[in-house]
Structure 1
Amino acid sequence: MRSPLLLAMMALLLPFNGLAQSDWRNADGTPMAQRSASAAARGFSASLVVTDNPQWRAIWDATTGDQPRFEAAQDVRNGGELYIVAFLSNPLPGADGTSNVRCDVRVNRPDGSATMDQRDLPCFQGRPGADPGLIYLSSEGVRFLAEATDPRGTWTVRITLTDANRGVALPLQATFNVR
């Protein structure tokens, strides 16, 4: 990936063929190299997308059969909004059949100081489908509104998704520029 924000890869994701595959795949089925905004380990996968499309949720909800397409955003100007969302695949169900995926979310200004730092948020709870290739939307996301007082420069988003049942944490990172 040439830019951490170039994660419109949701358009490229294909379901996994089995539990042994723990990586994101492009449109031709080839495993994609792990990047700062996508990761996989021990059967659990996660990806981070930054988009400026306010209809991202409607696109996700309306998509059936095909993977939704999200345009990646790299820049935002005063008054503009960005939506930072995480996706996951193959959360391990516990003995009771439910998944327990937790999130840590941190957004840093260009000087490195945090504007948001939340830990151990519930990201995905419930019973996953039988197909390990299903992609789920995390319940935690970030809406960023660029305000006149926001410092200009590169902001960094770090989201760690932890499959508590599997004992695997996947740190993801993306950046965007406030102009």
Structure 2
Amino acid sequence: MKSILILLYLLVLAVPTAHAGIGDNWYRDGRPAADDDTRKTIDGFGAAVILTSDKDWSEKWNTPSDVIPRFTTVDKLHRGESATLLIFFANPKQDAEGNVDITCDVKTIRPDNRVTEDKGLPGFKGKIAGSAKNTFLTQVAIKFVVEPNDPLGEWTFEVTVHDNQRHVAVPLKYRFTLVGVDSMTPEFKKE
């Protein structure tokens, strides 16, 4: 899998709804959601990760804060497809001037046990807009493009989101399966 690291210096918008970190919980459809591999809260700092097939994920995110972005998550990819890993955080600790300092580590583990690791990726540094308890998108998004020789099977992304002011690290995992060509997908049909 070709991984293209895209550092996106987006205007980070607050979204107080889906995946909103309020207090010590993540919320889904207005109700507290339990911690799992893809979203957790430790000492009040929350982090979440998704893998989306949405090509327009940036447009979905960059909307008014009262619009709930709905992302299509991926648990299976076929050769020739791509997806983007998005990392979110909520309730970071602010220093006396109101600044936060978030970094991310991303490890990719392939089915053949080959590992790629990037540490200290910039998550967000500076002042955040709105309440710290809102959900924010980190400044890093990683686009994964499946290549013809990538091994089939389960792929794992181990993501650690660091709140460097609070000295807390939230470990997350996202798994998906790479499968062969889907004969029902029109672009892969043989003529």
What interval of TM-score do these two structures reach, taking the shorter chain for normalisation?
0.7 to 0.9
Compared CA separation, residues 11 and 135, structure 1 to 2 (3 A): closer
Q: Which residue of 2 aligns with 1:5?
A: none
- In the alignment, structure 1 residue 128 sits paired with structure 2 residue 134: no
- In the alignment, structure 1 residue 167 sits paired with structure 2 residue 173: no
Secondary structure of the residue aligned to 1:24 is strand
Distance (whole Å) between structure 2 residues aligned to residue 85 and residue 14 of structure 1:
15
Deviation at 1:155, TM superposition (A): 0.4
Q: Which residue of 2 aligns with 1:56?
A: 57
Please tell me whether the aligned partners of residues 83 and 141 of structure 1 are also in contact (alpha carbons under 8 angstroms): yes
TM normalised by structure 2 equals 0.80
Structure-to-structure mapping, 1:1-179, within 5 angstroms: 12-14=18-20, 16=22, 21-28=23-30, 30-114=31-115, 116-179=116-179
Which of the pair is proportionally richer in strand? 2
Compared CA separation, residues 69 and 26, structure 1 to 2 (3 A): same
Please tell me whether the aligned partners of residues 47 and 89 of structure 2 are also in contact (alpha carbons under 8 angstroms): yes
Deviation at 1:159, TM superposition (A): 0.8
Q: Which residue of 2 aligns with 1:3?
A: none
> What runs of 5+ residues in structure 1 fail to find an aligned partner?
1-9
When Rg is computed on C-alpha atoms for both structures, the one with the higher figure is 2
Secondary structure of the residue aligned to 2:86 is strand
Please tell me whether the aligned partners of residues 105 and 117 of structure 2 are also in contact (alpha carbons under 8 angstroms): yes
Distance (whole Å) between structure 2 residues aligned to residue 36 and residue 141 of structure 1:
19
Identity of aligned residues (%): 27
After superposing on structure 2, the runs of 4+ consecutive aligned residues of structure 1 that deviate more than 4 Å are: none
Secondary structure of the residue aligned to 2:60 is helix
Please tell me whether the aligned partners of residues 20 and 134 of structure 2 are also in contact (alpha carbons under 8 angstroms): no
C-alpha RMSD of matched pairs (Å): 1.7
Please tell me whether the aligned partners of residues 159 and 172 of structure 2 are also in contact (alpha carbons under 8 angstroms): yes
Deviation at 1:41, TM superposition (A): 1.4
Which of 1 and 2 has higher RCO (CA within 8 Å, sep 6+)?
Answer: 2
Distance (whole Å) between structure 2 residues aligned to residue 164 and residue 112 of structure 1:
30
TM normalised by structure 1 equals 0.85
Deviation at 1:98, TM superposition (A): 1.1
Please tell me whether the aligned partners of residues 93 and 128 of structure 1 are also in contact (alpha carbons under 8 angstroms): no
Secondary structure of the residue aligned to 1:58 is helix
Please tell me whether the aligned partners of residues 13 and 67 of structure 1 are also in contact (alpha carbons under 8 angstroms): no
Deviation at 1:144, TM superposition (A): 0.6
Distance (whole Å) between structure 2 residues aligned to residue 120 and residue 15 of structure 1:
23
Deviation at 1:11, TM superposition (A): 7.0
Number of residue pairs aligned between Structure 1 and Structure 2: 164
Please tell me whether the aligned partners of residues 49 and 87 of structure 2 are also in contact (alpha carbons under 8 angstroms): yes
Distance (whole Å) between structure 2 residues aligned to residue 143 and residue 70 of structure 1:
15
Compared CA separation, residues 78 and 11, structure 1 to 2 (3 A): farther
| CA distances 1:87-114 after superposition (whole Å, capped 9, x unpaired) | 1111111233211011111111012221
